[in-house]
Structure 1
Amino acid sequence: RSWFDADGRPWDGRALKVGDLMLVRVEVKPTRRADDALLVDRLPAGLEIENQNLSQGPQASEFSLQLPNGQSLRIADTMTDNRVKHREFRDDRYVAALKLDSAPINLVYMVRVVSPGRYTVPGTFMEDMYRPELRTVGEPGQAVEVVDVAPVAGRRSE
């Protein structure tokens, strides 16, 4: 899993601010074929998924990511991959049903920073839906620190 800011640049680990929009990329590199794989990418507390089916704001497909290898990844291209059978944008996790072959799959979703604090990023989980003994859990990510946005001068709290 890798994180990007709203400009598509890799996140440098700096503290996030309440209200920030982030893009999350999960790159799946299959080691075996699976017709019914389930990926669950849980979010740390303090962040929520921007449900693309409900959002009136920017759509993930409008963005591109600047990958560390110098290449650019158009998110619109990741949204049309026919190996992604189903996507769910839940409050605290992104879920995708996948058909795995030998080629990598890029999954991208948007999150909004909502609550200040320091949070642990859980590892991504993947299993075969009909053979649950075939599963893997990724390493947890680095801790995420969220700071509150300073109030605007001259504005009263209500």
Structure 2
Amino acid sequence: MEDLHPKSAGLATDLEFFKLLTGSFQRLVGKPLVPSEQGPDWLYRAAPFVVLAHNTDPDPLFVYANIAAQTRFGYTWDEFTKLPSRLSAEAPDRQERQRLLDAVARQGYIADYRGLRVTKSGKHFWVENGIVWQLVDEHGRTSGQAATFSSWTDV
């Protein structure tokens, strides 16, 4: 798969992107991201957990943010998919975030992640028990990284 381009609003419910998200999660983490009877529309619109993904640009941009992510961070799809992913953390927390992403690149995924994030309105929250993984297709090509979490603590 070629590098992902955030201008594609079609990624929200795109079947190939859904297969990349869920397939790489299954291969790396060893469990399903979504129930087997659910598809891309459910993950985008109805999933009770946050899923975000960014591409492999030098300053990665978000290419996917489900409705749960949009609600948690306060950005619309259009705003999210123009946003460098580093801006999900404030400047003092970006080094820690980058260390996490570097570790994910080396190891494939990180589970039980906890990190401080910031919403569009400037409110802070701790991601609790997050999983961050490489978006790697079945041929070993990397297209970015993704994260999921279902619990957080407002600061």
Normalised by the length of structure 1, the TM-score is 0.32
Structure with greater strand percent? 1
Structure with greater helix percent? 2
Which one scores higher on RCO, CA 8 angstroms, separation ≥ 6?
1
